[in-house]
């Protein structure tokens, strides 16, 4: 019987053109245990090692021929895992490894894997015919694909939010004006979720060669992933909640450090603001129009002939003076840096890079060169610790001039005149002493550049949190840098795509993301720009940008009506900053992104499997931006439970679909009952004035349930928060018969903000004012409408808005506000 099966298999394989060249893992010959959590299986020339890292996380390494190379990962940072109690059972037909959350069954003949949940149900299994295979240097695994399984993640991918029925490649590529069909793009994050019946698993393929994922394109009933070379090294995560998976994944590969607060303000960019007088014009353009902005970017033309770390002598004769002036106006300056160093013996960075041996070379020792903006360039080998250090040191001059934002571009790397548009694949990298080819290091080049940049900024400015922005990266790159989605297009399709891309990037581990607002290439209509800016309010990186030789795209370039709308939109970003900063701080601790797809938060709700037109921002806000031309209403699907319109306070029953008015200028936002959104006054930039008052917009809790929201604050720029110099408290909303209560916990952490008031807006209180308002049991006086001073206490009632506003001084101890009906 067995030999009959094998014969059939051999016949089927030979008959399948794609499969003919692949050899799949044969029967297991032997196995050996390595420590309490590892087992190695040998099957013919193939070998596979399983390591249990956590109850819900197992690592598989499959190779053939020479065995496993040194175990070095650019992504993985968690080295030591607590020992897991895994039960191993060796039976004649299969070896099983069981933890409290997951069972891996290794069938022995042939070697095939299936992951099962504690009840024994299959979560994911190798396709019986192929399983783990190799062909020459390539490695690949095929897995069965249930018809109702959905796929998400994969990092930066254009096109649809759901990633089934697609073939995707991971190979960092510079593709300006990409379309929904373009693949690959700039970043490689080989991590995805499979979701079915509300339950999710995750897979991270940690291989830096060109990798690919075929999600049912080759055959509808199976998917596969693999690499052109190296080890089939993947991690299997079981949730079943997507949040659990992302928490584990980011424990494995690291999380975003808390960004400086100014980087969460509005950012303005274009290719290029030049000369310096134009930069001044833009800066005063914001201030004179009262449109808030924190960051101005200098694109490539600030440099002398595109030589990195230089200034153009005519266009920017006095960079220190300019940057001092900008700082005085409240702007932080960010500059672009590309990896290509112009081959020019009169150029200091070229000379020192060459002398230090920091540039990429062919195996025969000759320098690799290729053309980018400056002409012929050499390229630093960011995989060498010494080159990273050299690179970081080059920033000294820019930092001394006052630059604080480091925009890393062209780091796929993009090379214009070389076939393949990147470094020759045979060029050698140091690879921390392993001396490997560009084919292996291509996908990490951008990430290692951001690492060199981030570490350089840390050394040069130790008291400040660096802000690095990158186009290319690899899994884990968020430890060093925020990312934007490259050279998009001014179109409505790209607006929708920007959202879907940011959502997938977020659940792939990169929380600090954004797309060029308005679209990089082309010119948006006033309406498109306004709607894009609205999406930007709840995109962590809120940056407008434009290609060269294009009409101006600043927020005031679309006529006065749109200028007013755009000002209000950016004002909203600043009003929400206390909430946004709180969410970003939580992201840095948990790995959960700020922007979350509905299906990620509600995997069991079948309405959300394909939903990408609305999303959660943190736990307490649902955003439903208008993404289509001419639309003045928006249809939103509310999750189960009770909700409120953020603006009107109107209560809405969840589990239903609503079509709400969304005239131009309006961003539909919804808040779960009981949530409290911390807000602040409008400022022109984050450093203009301390938060005062801290406004708490609180929505009534429902059904007597207590609802807890969180608040985080610190000095916004230093690392003191790491030592507990922060200000953390919770807001608990409760409704008991006859009373509405909001409790502020005592402050945790030692950060002391400047003295301020707290203005609590009790939204949807009712048609009548409260009969009594107390703070910690003491009566708060009624104030005349609008007279409540910031330092004093008093409450007022806004009857049309059905809102009670209570003003009290902020204090560090617990505060309980109670409103009696």
Catalytic sites, residue numbers:
409, 412, 487
Please select the residue that binds ligand GLC; options are 271, 273, 721, 731, rule is CB under 6 A: 271
> With binding defined as CB under 6 A, does residue 303 bind ligand GLC?
no
Within 171-318, residue ranges assigned H as helices are: 242-253, 276-289
> With binding defined as CB under 6 A, does residue 487 bind ligand GLC?
yes
**C-alpha–C-alpha distance, residues 742 and 767, integer Å:** 19
> With binding defined as CB under 6 A, does residue 339 bind ligand GLC?
no
> With binding defined as CB under 6 A, does residue 115 bind ligand GLC?
no
Which residues 371-390 are close enough to bind ligand GLC by CB under 6 A?
Answer: none
Please select the residue that binds ligand GLC; options are 276, 409, 412, 810, rule is CB under 6 A: 409
- Min CB(308)–ligand GLC separation in Å: 12
> With binding defined as CB under 6 A, does residue 412 bind ligand GLC?
no
Instruction: Kindly determine how many residues on this chain lie close enough to bind ligand GLC according to the rule CB under 6 A.
Output: 10
Q: Which is nearer to ligand GLC, 394 or 485 (CB)?
A: 485
> With binding defined as CB under 6 A, does residue 297 bind ligand GLC?
no
Residue keyed to tokens 């009624």: 782
Please select the residue that binds ligand GLC; options are 264, 336, 360, 804, rule is CB under 6 A: 336
**Residue 197, Ramachandran bin (φ over 0: left; ψ between -120 and 50: alpha; else beta):** left
Residue of minimal Cβ distance to ligand GLC: 271
Cα separations (Å) of 696 from 489, 699, 804? Answer: 38, 10, 12
HSE of 106 in the Cβ direction (CA atoms, 13 Å)?
32
> With binding defined as CB under 6 A, does residue 301 bind ligand GLC?
no
HSE of 609 in the Cβ direction (CA atoms, 13 Å)?
15
Q: Which is nearer to ligand GLC, 395 or 574 (CB)?
A: 395
**C-alpha–C-alpha distance, residues 754 and 756, integer Å:** 6
**C-alpha torsion sign, points 3, 7, 9, 10:** positive
Please select the residue that binds ligand GLC; options are 162, 276, 299, 381, rule is CB under 6 A: 299
> With binding defined as CB under 6 A, does residue 713 bind ligand GLC?
no
**C-alpha–C-alpha distance, residues 397 and 323, integer Å:** 13
Please tell me the chain's helix, strand, coil percentages from 3-state DSSP, rounded to the nearest 5: 20, 30, 45
- Cβ distance 233 to 249 under 8 Å? no
> With binding defined as CB under 6 A, does residue 335 bind ligand GLC?
no
**C-alpha–C-alpha distance, residues 650 and 647, integer Å:** 8
Q: Which is nearer to ligand GLC, 185 or 671 (CB)?
A: 185
Complete DSSP assignment for 331-351: PEEEEEE-S-EE--TT-HHHH
Q: Which is nearer to ligand GLC, 107 or 515 (CB)?
A: 515
- Cβ distance 513 to 486 under 8 Å? no
Q: Which is nearer to ligand GLC, 308 or 580 (CB)?
A: 308
Which residues 526-585 are close enough to bind ligand GLC by CB under 6 A?
Answer: 545
Q: Which is nearer to ligand GLC, 271 or 707 (CB)?
A: 271
- Min CB(453)–ligand GLC separation in Å: 16
Q: Which is nearer to ligand GLC, 446 or 555 (CB)?
A: 446
The 3-state secondary structure of 669-722 reads EEEECCCEEEECCCCCCCCCCCCCCEEEEECCCCCCCCEEEEEEECCCCCCHHH
Please select the residue that binds ligand GLC; options are 471, 494, 531, 575, rule is CB under 6 A: 471
> With binding defined as CB under 6 A, does residue 486 bind ligand GLC?
yes
Q: Which is nearer to ligand GLC, 2 or 551 (CB)?
A: 551
> With binding defined as CB under 6 A, does residue 340 bind ligand GLC?
no
**C-alpha–C-alpha distance, residues 523 and 528, integer Å:** 9
Q: Assign 219 to helix, strand or coil.
A: strand
Nearest to 539 by CA among 505, 513, 504: 513
Sketch the per residue contact string, 160 through 179, with ligand GLC: x for CB under 6 A, - otherwise.
----------------x---
Residue keyed to tokens 């013996």: 345
- Min CB(300)–ligand GLC separation in Å: 4
- Min CB(537)–ligand GLC separation in Å: 21
- What residues are paired with 359 via a beta bridge? 380
> With binding defined as CB under 6 A, does residue 156 bind ligand GLC?
no
Q: Applying CB under 6 A, which residues contact ligand GLC?
A: 176, 271, 299-300, 336, 409, 471, 486-487, 545
């Amino acid at each position: 019987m067995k030999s009959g099966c094998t014969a059939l298999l051999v016949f089927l394989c030979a008959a399948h053109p794609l499969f003919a060249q692949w050899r799949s893992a044969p029967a297991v010959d032997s196995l050996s245990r390595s420590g309490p959590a590892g087992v190695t299986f040998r099957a013919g020339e193939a070998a596979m090692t399983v390591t249990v890292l956590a109850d819900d996380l197992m690592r598989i390494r499959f190779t053939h021929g020479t065995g496993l190379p040194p175990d070095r990962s650019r992504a993985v940072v968690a080295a030591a895992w607590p020992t897991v109690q895994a039960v191993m059972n060796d039976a004649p037909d299969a070896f099983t490894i069981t933890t409290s959350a997951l069972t891996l069954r290794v069938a022995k003949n042939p070697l095939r894997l299936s992951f099962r949940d504690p009840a024994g149900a299959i979560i994911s299994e190798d396709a019986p015919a192929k399983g783990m295979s190799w062909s020459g240097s390539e490695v690949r695994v095929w897995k069965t694909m249930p018809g109702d399984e959905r796929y998400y993640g994969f990092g930066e991918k254009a096109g649809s939010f759901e990633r089934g029925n697609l073939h995707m490649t991971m190979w960092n590529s510079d593709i300006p004006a990409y379309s929904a069909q373009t693949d690959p793009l700039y970043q490689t994050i080989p991590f995805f979720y499979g979701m079915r019946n509300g339950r999710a698993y995750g897979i991270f393929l940690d291989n830096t060669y060109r990798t690919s994922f075929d999600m049912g394109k080759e055959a509808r009933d199976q998917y596969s992933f693999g690499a052109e070379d190296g080890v089939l090294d993947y991690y299997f995560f079981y949730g079943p909640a997507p949040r659990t998976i992302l928490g584990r994944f980011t424990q494995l590969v690291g999380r975003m450090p808390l960004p400086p607060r100014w980087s969460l303000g509005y950012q303005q960019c274009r290719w290029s603001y030049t000369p310096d007088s134009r930069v001044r014009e833009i800066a005063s353009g914001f201030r004179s129009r009262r449109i808030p902005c924190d960051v101005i970017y200098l694109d490539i033309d600030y440099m002398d002939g595109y030589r990195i770390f230089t200034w153009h002598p005519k266009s920017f004769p006095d960079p220190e003076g300019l940057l001092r002036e900008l700082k005085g106006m409240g702007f932080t300056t960010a500059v672009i840096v590309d990896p290509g160093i112009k081959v020019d013996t009169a150029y200091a960075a070229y000379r020192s890079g060459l002398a230090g041996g920091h540039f990429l070379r062919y195996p025969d020792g000759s320098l690799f060169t290729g053309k980018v903006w400056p002409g012929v360039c050499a390229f630093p080998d960011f995989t060498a610790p010494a080159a990273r250090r050299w690179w970081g040191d080059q920033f000294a001059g820019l930092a001394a001039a006052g630059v604080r934002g480091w925009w890393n571009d062209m780091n796929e790397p993009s090379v214009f005149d070389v076939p393949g548009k990147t470094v020759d694949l045979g060029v050698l990298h140091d690879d921390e002493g392993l001396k490997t080819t560009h084919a292996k290091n291509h996908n990490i080049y951008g990430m290692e550049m951001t690492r060199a940049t981030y570490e350089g900024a840390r050394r040069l400015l130790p008291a400040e949190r660096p802000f690095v922005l990158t186009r290319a990266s690899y899994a884990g790159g968020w430890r060093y840098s925020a990312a934007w989605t490259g050279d998009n297009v001014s179109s409505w399709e790209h607006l929708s795509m920007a959202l879907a891309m940011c959502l997938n990037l977020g659940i792939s581990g990169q929380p600090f993301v954004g797309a060029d607002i308005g679209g990089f290439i082309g010119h948006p209509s006033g309406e498109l720009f306004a709607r894009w800016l609205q999406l930007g309010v709840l995109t962590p990186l809120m940056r407008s940008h434009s290609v060269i030789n294009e009409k101006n795209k600043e927020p005031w370039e679309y006529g006065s009506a749109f200028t007013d709308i755009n000002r209000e939109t950016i004002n909203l970003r600043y009003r929400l900053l206390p909430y946004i900063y709180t969410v970003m701080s939580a992201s840095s601790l948990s790995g959960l992104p700020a922007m979350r797809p509905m299906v990620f938060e509600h995997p069991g709700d079948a309405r959300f499997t394909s939903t990408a037109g609305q999303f959660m921002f943190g736990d307490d806000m649902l955003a439903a931006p208008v993404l289509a031309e001419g639309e003045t209403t928006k249809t939103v699907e509310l999750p189960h439970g009770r909700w409120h319109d953020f603006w009107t306070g109107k209560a809405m029953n969840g589990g239903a679909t609503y079509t709400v008015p969304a005239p131009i200028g309006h961003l539909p936002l919804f808040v779960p009952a009981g949530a409290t959104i911390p807000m602040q006054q409008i400022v022109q930039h984050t450093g203009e004035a301390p938060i005062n008052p801290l406004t708490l917009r609180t929505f009534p809790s429902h059904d007597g349930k207590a609802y807890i929201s969180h608040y985080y604050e610190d000095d916004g720029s230093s690392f003191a928060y790491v030592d507990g110099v922060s200000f953390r408290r919770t807001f608990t909303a409760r409704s008991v018969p006859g009373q509405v209560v909001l409790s502020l916990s005592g402050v945790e952490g030692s950060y002391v903000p400047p003295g301020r008031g707290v203005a609590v807006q009790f939204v949807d209180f009712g048609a009548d004012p409260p009969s009594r308002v107390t703070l910690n049991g003491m009566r708060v006086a009624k104030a005349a409408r609008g007279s409540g001073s910031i330092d004093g206490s008093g409450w007022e009632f806004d009857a049309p808005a059905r809102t009670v506003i209570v003003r009290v001084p902020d204090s560090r101890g617990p505060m309980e506000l109670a409103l009696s009906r």
